Amino acid sequence: MSGDDPQWAKDLRAAAEKAAEAFGQVGHVLVAQEAMGWMYRGDLAAARRAVAKLPADKLAELSTAAAALAAVADEEMARHAQP
């Protein structure tokens, strides 16, 4: 399309680009959930295959989130262990 497209066409194109970005993010979250599900089952190989689907920047986000979640879970375990 050219630079003199009607505004509705520009708006539609912008909305489609935002939707595609949002669907991509949802896909990354689903892959991370898939990996967590395999880890719950103790299937390290399947978890590795799931994580391998993520791009490098999402791997860093997943690693940070997993570490933070582990810390929160450890704190909660300690709270439950208290008399």
- Any idea where the domains of the chain sit in the sequence? 7-81
Q: How far apart are CA 4 and CA 2, in angstroms?
A: 5
pLDDT at 48 (0 to 100): 97
pLDDT at 3 (0 to 100): 66
Stretches in the chain below the pLDDT threshold 50: none
* Nearest CA among 34, 22, 28, 35 for reference residue 54: 28
In the predicted model, what is the mean pLDDT of the chain? 89
pLDDT at 25 (0 to 100): 81
Q: How far apart are CA 24 and CA 41, in angstroms?
A: 26
Contact 60, 32 (CB under 8 A): no
pLDDT at 26 (0 to 100): 86
